[in-house]
């Protein structure tokens, strides 16, 4: 069950991040990938800053922040 929640959170985080950055969705698989990587990056970043994430909403916010930062970095590399 936790895996399904993680996948749904990743897809939603990737979708939200792509909407915030470019205004359009990147597609289901890319949103999933972006959300999952964003979640890992966001968790690492929040840990460095000493921010504790609790619950599904906290995980979603963490993943969105991470995904937005990753999208920003990728856009600067082009």
- For 61, the domain range is 2-77
Give pLDDT tens digits for 19-30.
888 766 667 777
- What pTM does this model have? 0.84
Q: Which residues of 52-68 are buried (b: 16+ CB within 10 A; e: fewer)?
A: ebeeeeebbbbbbbbbb
What is the average pLDDT value for the chain, to the nearest integer? Answer: 83
Residue 5 pLDDT > 90, yes or no? Answer: no
Look at residue 73 in the predicted model and tell me its pLDDT: 84
pLDDT at 77: 83
* Segment 48-74, tens digit of pLDDT: 999 988 888 988 898 899 988 988 887
Total domains in the chain come to: 1
Query: Cα 38–31–56 angle (5° rounding)?
Result: 55
pLDDT value of position 25: 64
How far apart CA 15 and CA 52 sit, in angstroms, is: 23
């Amino acid at each position: 069950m936790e895996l399904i929640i993680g996948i749904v959170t990743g897809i939603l985080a990737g979708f939200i991040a792509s909407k915030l950055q470019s205004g359009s969705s990147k597609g289901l698989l890319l949103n999933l990938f972006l959300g999952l990587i964003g979640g890992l990056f966001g968790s690492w970043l929040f840990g460095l800053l000493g921010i504790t994430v609790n619950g599904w909403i906290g995980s979603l916010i963490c993943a969105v922040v991470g995904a937005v930062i990753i999208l920003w970095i990728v856009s600067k590399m082009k």
